[in-house]
Structure 1
Amino acid sequence: MSEERELSRRAMLRGTAGAAVAAGVVGTVLSAGGSAYGAEDDCPGGRRVPPERIAIQLYTLRSALQADLPGTLEALADIGYRNVELAGTYGRSAAEFRAMLDRYHLRAVSAHIGLEDIDQLVADARTLGYRWADCAWANLGSIEAWTDFARRLDKAGEAFRKAGISYGYHNHAHEFWPIDGVRPFDVIARNTSRRNIHFQYDLYWLVEAGVDPVEQFYAQFGRVRQFHVKDRAADGSFADLGTGTIDFARVFRMTRNTGVKHFIVEHDQPTDPLHTAKVGYEYLRDLRF
């Protein structure tokens, strides 16, 4: 058995995935529909990420959007993007921002939003059109505080779910650094329901935390519905996709057919945001695995 197949098998048998394997559920998911990479995506060089599942987190382009919102959105469309993930609307109302997206044939598929004032957030989501959203940040000093946060997160996720929005949590590295021997991420996972909270894995931050993205994916099998695809240079800094050290082909190959909905390009500190966006789109569009 190859190393990759053995790793995948062992990872699936651990944690919460173990019960699913015992019930035969994972085998069904891995061999049937719901794929993030459909059969039509097989090709001589390997599978690929379907372009309709590629998006970009607009935080990557925040400086360009602040300087020229319509011009930057138009440039993203010219690169080939059809989907974006929101991080605010840059001083525009939800309706105004939606009109700009429509003008350039862009679609908001996801957003980073908080967990307060849910009624207004739901109204904005319906205007903007996205049905996936994530809490982008929490950093707390004790396991008790993380537990309280997780319970509030779950309550917000339930409210969003009832409104037709799938709500999740986006990781950084610090959720995987133990406090008194306990990882905050595990506290979030234990104190939230799979029905209410999915996970948006930022692959850069998993690697930065010293976590294998594939093993961590299967440790939370079925809950990981989105990837932030962000590369890491050898010195640990952010890098444009394909120029760093993360083996995305391995991650995608070993998590294929498992229901990941969105592959979202991101770079926290780009020197040329539109160049970064172009490199990221072309890398994901051309990647074979």
Structure 2
Amino acid sequence: MPLPRRTLLQTAAVLAAAGAATGAASHHPGRIPHKAISIQLYTLRSLLDADLVPTLRQLADIGYRTVETAGTHGRTAAEFRSVLDDLGLRATSGHSGLEGGIDALIEESCALGHRRVAVPYAEFDTADGWREFADQLNEAGHRCRRAGLRFGYHNHDHEFATVDGHRPFDILLHRTDPRLVHFELDVYWAVHAGQDPVALVDAHRGRFPQLHVKDRSATGEMVDPGTGTIDFPELFDHARAKEFIVEHDNPTDPMRTARVGFRYLRTVRW
């Protein structure tokens, strides 16, 4: 029997909507918003220590609008913030340890205008040491949240090596409160430790709002973003991160790294 006209129209509408959705997906691939591209200033520490304002001006000229701090290079937090403001830059996040106390961390982060702050490094010889550290992260995260900051931890590779039968990264993931502590995934160091970053972000959805975009050569060297072997498009598709931060620990030409990284993140699609 012929189908009723209403059924035919409904079927056609569903098929059209599906086709439109498929077309939209194929013609509008994922991309990183300009405002989500940042750079960890540790990459340019030698240039910043020597000539702060011109170096930051070059970053603004490249196209950066946001940066991640690692110290203030001889300036107070207020002075550093003023320089950034004058150049149209914003320090949306920063690295800061707990050694100086949580109050000092919050005060400096707020003065710099951060939305997020992360502890850049920690290492302990025992699993209990890592458990105690996780508890410290929870406390810091609680106090940061009350101050309007998001608090997190940045990994290297040693967190994925077993200590007392446990991986420190697993201890941190499971012992910290997801509402208080996030993770800034350093992609290079995770891959260098033998981890699959896509599997990591899939298994812990929402814990990784920040990515340190550092590439790795086939022989293990750290290289500029987009010039190595890491499949960033797949990772970006899975991660749904809020900040994509260019970094290189020891670049031979820091400003070149800044240029290459920015261009890659502006043009990468998935």
Q: 2:83 matched to 1:100?
A: yes
Aligned to 1:285: 266
Could you tell me how far 1:265 is from its partner in structure 2? Answer: 0.3
Structure 1 stretches of at least 4 aligned residues deviating more than 6 Å after TM superposition = none
* Higher gyration radius (CA): 2
Q: Once the 2 structures are TM-superposed, how far is the Cα of residue 194 of structure 1 from its aligned partner?
A: 1.0
Instruction: Give, as a single letter, the amino acid of the residue that structure 2 aligns with 1:144.
Output: D
- 1:173 pairs, out of 157, 173, 182, with 157
Deviation digits for residues 91-136 of structure 1, max 9, x if unmatched?
A: 1001110111011100000000112422222222222111200011
Aligned to 1:148: 132
Report matched runs for 1:85-124 at 5 Å: 85-115=68-98, 116-124=100-108
Q: Distance in 2 between matches of 1:133 and 1:229?
A: 17
Aligned-pair identity (%):
52
Normalising to structure 2: TM-score of the pair?
A: 0.88
Shift of residue 44 of structure 1? 3.2
Contact 1:95 1:127 in 2 (8 A): yes
Normalised by the size of structure 1, how large is the TM-score? Answer: 0.82
Verify the 8 A CA contact 1:134 1:168 in the aligned structure 2. Answer: yes
Q: Taking structure 1 as reference, are residues 163 and 251 closer, same or farther at Cα in structure 2, changes over 3 Å only?
A: same
Asked whether the equivalents of residues 155 and 186 of structure 2 are also in contact (C-alpha less than 8 Å), the reply is yes
Amino acid at match of 2:205: F
Match in the other structure for 1:273: 254
Which gives a bigger RCO, structure 1 or 2 (Cα 8 Å, sep 6+)? 1
Q: CA deviation at 1:241?
A: 1.1
What number of residue pairs does the alignment pair up?
246
- 8 Å CA contact 2:154–2:185 kept in 1: the answer is yes
Q: Once the 2 structures are TM-superposed, how far is the Cα of residue 158 of structure 1 from its aligned partner?
A: 0.9
Corresponding residue SS for 1:200: strand
User: Helix, strand or coil: the match of 1:224?
Assistant: coil
Q: Aligned pair 1:253/2:243, yes or no?
A: no
> Structure 1 pair 43/285, CA: closer, same or farther in 2 (3 Å)?
farther
| Structure 1 residue 154, shift from structure 2 partner | 1.1
Note if contact 1:240-1:276 (Cα within 8 Å) is conserved in structure 2. yes
SS at match of 2:29: coil
Q: How big is the shift at 1:219?
A: 1.9
Structure 1 unmatched runs, 5+:
1-40
Residue identity in the other structure for 1:72: T
Give the whole-Å Cα distance in 1 for the aligned partners of 2:74 and 2:90.
Answer: 19
RMSD: 1.4
Deviation by residue 1:139-181 (Cα, 9 ceiling, x = unmatched): 1111011111111111111111111110001111110111232
- Alignment partner, residue 131 of structure 1: 115
Corresponding residue number in structure 2 for 1:66: 49
Q: Provide the C-alpha distance between the structure 2 equivalents of 1:112 and 1:97, rounded to a whole number of angstroms.
A: 15
Q: Report the Cα distance in structure 1 between the residues aligned to 2:217 and 2:249, rounded to whole angstroms.
A: 13
Equivalent residue in structure 1 for 2:58, among 75, 84, 103: 75
Q: Deviations over 1:201-259 (max 9, x none)?
A: 01101100111001111222121111010001122111011111111011112334xxx
Do the aligned residues in 2 keep the contact of 1:169 with 1:200 (CA within 8 Å)? Answer: yes
Distance 1:267 1:160, change over 3 A: same
Aligned to 2:30: 47
Is the 1:45–1:288 contact (alpha carbons within 8 Å) kept by the matching residues of 2?
A: no
Structure 2: distance between partners of 1:166 and 1:186: 21
Structure 2 gap segments, 5+ residues each: 1-23
Query: Given that residues 63 and 262 in structure 2 are in contact (C-alpha distance below 8 angstroms), is that contact kept between their aligned partners in structure 1?
Result: yes
Do 1:52 and 1:83's aligned partners in 2 also have CA atoms closer than 8 Å?
yes
Paired residues of 1:42 and 1:48 also in contact (CA < 8 A) = no
CA distance in 1, matches of 2:108, 2:254: 26
- The 3 A distance-change label for structure 1 pair 61 and 43 is farther
Q: 1 CA distance for matches of 2:239 and 2:110?
A: 31
